[in-house]
Structures are given as structure tokens and as C-alpha cells.
Amino acid sequence: MALALDSGHLGPLVRVASLLDPVAPALQDWLWQAAPQGRLDDLELSWIDGVPGPGRARLAGLAFAAVDGRPGVSGLGGALAFDAGGAMLELDPAAVAVDWSQAFGEVLHPEIEGTVALWRDGDAWGVGSSALRVRGEDYGVHARLEMRFEPDGGRPWLALAAQVDAAPVTAANRFWVRHLMPPASVEWLERALVSGTVQGGHAVLAGDLDDWPFAAGEGMFDSEATLSDVELDFSPDWPNATGLSGTAGFTGQGMRLEASGVVGGVAVSRASGSIQDWSDAALRLQADGRGDGRAMLALLRASPLQERYGEQVETLQVQGPARTRLDLVLPLGADAAAPTVRGTVDLDGVRLATRAGSWNSPRPAVACATARPACRPRSSRCATRAKWQPQPGGRRPHFQRAAPARGLAARALRRRAAAGQGGCPRAVRRTHQR
């Protein structure tokens, strides 16, 4: 037997079909709450020995509401073919509305192309596509996916492989899963990504979403993007990192970053960052920098170290190359703990002017300069290392000044001259600590 209709509404047909062929209670609840709607044109139905046979139709305006944290969609349409075991929809290229506001915070309006299949798998239902193209205002994705909906009504099992097109780095802010991430992490991500480009990326996910974020290895999710010329506002207390190039990756539990760029005028040859667990919400950064000593001091003076160690930093004048290593732990959120900063600055073969003697007894600034002609070839060069790290009882940072062979602090030279000693000692090392 066959039946043809010029037009019909999808909603009543879905509800009647679910009653004639009972489905799991959880799916039945979803069908009633999500209330699928749409129009079927040129509908053809058939029955063979009382069993629904092949059919086809043109589907327009397919929509279902967002329910209980599950997304809703409207505006889908295309050529539909179906039978008792499932259906296949070849989508018309058109913009649709994806309403998952609980996660994304807004309704997205991408254009979706491809073919989507629906099939029965025992008591479960599967949905999938071997080639789905999604294009938004500032993003694009090629994806293969398969979802399996179990009769218990839980979240689906999902397998996804996606390739991400080049896009502004700020486009990522559309896709943070806000209801599953701590607010402090989302706020940091939205503030930190100032500008730049994602040159491309990929994502792979496989697992039961009831087990998200797969902390015990029940499933896997990993994504990685290539970054170019990114500006990162990683902390309001530090200058922004600019010109970052490298990679950023995300897992279900956190993120990682490997890049190079510039911070406060200092070239950063390697920067490694991570948020190991979104629930922990602490950014850990390690950075190696190299540049002119004056730029290095300017960076330190523009950082939180100026507030704590300003007296010592302000006494320094440096000319020449410098290297630094920073290790930062920056807890995120308005009520977060204080940041932790550790690091070293190496000033090797530079001109250094600083106060001699104890930090507790400021003295006139002196340079590593010679008072005798015999020391002239290397008299203005010093090797210096400053280390800062939290000290018990509020103690000041450890500061070392080491002059290489024939490089002497002026005070030491004067002491030797007064004693009638000639020549230049090999090295003078002073340690100051408060």
C-alpha cells in the first residue's frame, strides 16, 4: 500500500509514530518536551505486509527545542528518505539556529551542509555524518561524527573528528562549554584572547558524555590549534604577551600552550603554559627570555615584582645582553590566592651600576669600573645573576654580583690600592640578602 500527500506537519506524525511503535520512556519524554516541528512536502509513504516501507519527502523548517541541557535546532531542511530502520537527510545549504545557550551563552547561526543519517540500533538510536561542513561568521569546521542515544535517557556516546579552518583566535570564545567549566576559567579565557589568528587545528573525541571530562580515562578528548601573531592578556599585573606563535591544546580537564613571542619588549624564545585542571583554575607559566638588560629591567619594573622589590630594582642600571627564566603560578578568579613568582635574570658581560654594600645601608651607586690601567680591557664588564623567590618572614630576594677576571667593584679596587697591592684580582663576589 502507498500513500502520497502534498504537504503535512511533522510534529503530529512524530507523536503518533512514537505511540504506534513505543520508544524508551526517556526518548518519549524528550519528544514531548522538545516538540519537533517541521513541514513535509511531497510526502510518499508505503507499507509492505503491514510493515512501514520506504518513503521520502522534502523537509522544511525542522526544529526542536533545547531541553534539560540538550541543544535545540531550528531551520533545518533537505531531501529526506526513510524506512522502518532509519532515515537519511541530505541538508539544504542554509543558515540554521543552534540553541545551546546553557553552554555557549548565545544562539549560534552557522550554515550546515552534508548528509545526516538516523538509524535504529537495538533499543538505541544512532545519528551520524561522514562529512559535515559547518561555517559561521568567523569560523569553519569539517567534521565526521557519530552519536548513540541509549534508552536510559542519559547523555549520548559521541565519536567526533574535526578539522578547524583558519579563524580569529577570539572565535574560540563562542565555544567554551560554560556549564561544565568553572566561571573563573571561562572569564580568564575570554579576557586573555585579545587578538591573533588560529591557522588551523583538529579535535578528536570519543566516549560516553555521561563520563565527561574523562578524568579516569573512560574516554578521550584532545584538540590542538596552530597560533599566529596572538596577543595574550595572561595577567592584569603583567604586560601582555604579543606576537605569539606556537600551539595551544585542550583536553576535557585543562589546556596547554607552547609558544614564542614578546613580553614587555623582551623576546621570549620559549613559553610553556598550562591549566592542568579547570576545577583548579590556576595558570602555570614558564618562560625563557633574552634581550637587552634595560628592556629586562623595564619588564621587571612593570610587573608585580616592582611593588615588592622596587627598592632593589630601582637601584640597578644595566647595559648589555640579559637572559631570564620566569616560573609563574597565577590562580584565576576574583577571590584567588596570590600569584607565585620565581625566576632568575642572568646579566653576562654587561655594564652594571648598583649600590654597593648591604641593602639595609644604601650607599652611592658605583659601576664595575677599573681604577688601574692594567684592568682597562675588561674593566666595565660584569656578570650578574639576580634570583627572586618567596622568602620566609618577608625576606628580600637573593642578589649576586660576580665580576669576571679583571673586573672589580670600585670599592674592592680602592681597598687593594690602599694596601699597596697591584694588578687585578680574578673575581669579586658580593651577596646581599634581606
Instruction: Return the domain boundaries, the chain.
Output: 356-434
Average pLDDT along the chain: 79
Residues comprising the chain, all counted: 434
- Over residues 117-165, the pLDDT tens digits come to 999 888 888 999 999 999 999 999 999 999 998 887 788 899 999 999 9
The yes-or-no verdict on residue 373 having pLDDT over 70 is no
The grid coordinates listed for 309 are 622589590
pLDDT of residue 20: 58
The yes-or-no verdict on residue 77 having pLDDT over 60 is yes
User: In this predicted model, which residue has the larger pLDDT, 417 or 42?
Assistant: 42
pLDDT of residue 131: 95
The yes-or-no verdict on residue 434 having pLDDT over 70 is no
Mean pLDDT of all residues in 290-310: 82
- Over residues 207-258, the pLDDT tens digits come to 999 998 898 889 999 999 999 999 999 998 899 999 999 999 999 999 999 9
Mean pLDDT of all residues in 404-420: 43
- Is the pTM here over 0.85, yes or no? no
Cβ-contact 289, 268 below 8 angstroms: yes
Name the most confidently modeled range: 24-38, 127-141, 392-406: 127-141
Quick one: angle between helices 25-34 and 10-20, nearest 10?
160
Mean pLDDT of all residues in 80-88: 90
pLDDT of residue 413: 40
Long-range CB contacts (within 8 A, 24+) of 210-217 = 210/154, 210/155, 212/155, 212/180, 212/252, 213/180, 213/251, 213/252, 213/253, 213/278, 214/252, 214/253, 215/252, 215/253
